[in-house]
Amino acid sequence: MDFVEYGNPEGRIVVYLHGVPGSIEECSVFDSHAKNYNLRILSFDRFSINNTLDREAYYQALANQIKQIAGTEPIDLIGFSIGAHVALEISAVLKDQVGQLHLVSAAGPISGGDFLDHMAGGTVFKLAMKRPWLFSLLTQYQRLMAIVAPGLLFSMLFASAAGADRALCARREFKQSITGLLKHCFQKRTSGYLRDVNFYVTWSGDLSRHSSSVQLWHGTEDNWTPIAMANYLANGIAGGASVEELKGLSHYSCLYSAAPKICAQLAAE
């Protein structure tokens, strides 16, 4: 499986699980901070994994890829958005090998509360749950847009941007970065995208297997993954968890703000 790495190649190993939609380059936001704190942050192209694998085999395959690089060395995990769900599942497989687990703008289990009506992407998740054929058709439409009008796709997805994400969307470099992620995801990795969304919306929400202590970072204005999701996770994770609320921030602005703080905490252990 392809992967990219940021920071110091000789540093402490940290694995980043990107969002959905997303791609491995999303992790670049950590690069300069990882160099400052002597961290080696890896991001795997998990959308390329065989989409015929069932849920358990998929997370085991990711854990195996991590072990191929880290061996028995302790690792830390960072999960962003729906990648937080993936990070939790991998943590349950790797168990004591996982040190710190940081979840940013975490997408909690849909079954955990009345979340869907408060999520900007709630309609998409409802389609994935109740009309998967229509969700697949929507994804193909997004794939076409990613090919012929990627800028328009960006504008559509971020039309509901809230909090500090609105200012981010006005920045040329942010738009270029996210547009590149969308193009990679929808032009080349739609099967992996569909799989991750389907696994997420059918997640039981069982948190009893997660023994690692978890730090959650969440913007108070996040309308993609409402902060109620972070609070649900914090109350349910067996190993204990705390939520760092970032005032006025939303989904991606939380990631940008939390990145240096997460690296500092990882280095301080």
DSSP assignment of 7-54 equals: E-TTSEEEEEE--SS--GGGGGGGHHHHHHTTEEEEEE-GGGS-TTS-
Tell me the C-alpha distance between 6 and 22, whole Å. 17
The yes-or-no verdict on residue 194 having pLDDT over 70 is yes
Structure tokens at 108: 């909690």
Q: For the segment 38-67, what is each residue's pLDDT rounded down to a tens digit?
A: 999 999 999 999 889 999 999 999 999 999
Helices and strands, counts by H and E, the chain: 11, 7
Tell me the C-alpha distance between 24 and 180, whole Å. 11
* pLDDT confidence of residue 2: 87
Asked whether 241 and 213 are in contact (CB, 8 A), the reply is yes
* pLDDT confidence of residue 86: 96
The yes-or-no verdict on residue 211 having pLDDT over 90 is no
* pLDDT confidence of residue 209: 77
Tell me the C-alpha distance between 12 and 253, whole Å. 26
The yes-or-no verdict on residue 210 having pLDDT over 90 is no
* pLDDT confidence of residue 117: 87
* pLDDT confidence of residue 83: 96
For 3-268, CATH gives: 3.40.50.1820
The yes-or-no verdict on residue 121 having pLDDT over 90 is no
Q: Over range 116-129, report the average pLDDT.
A: 91
The mean of the pLDDT values for the chain is 93
Asked whether 108 and 237 are in contact (CB, 8 A), the reply is no
The yes-or-no verdict on residue 113 having pLDDT over 90 is no
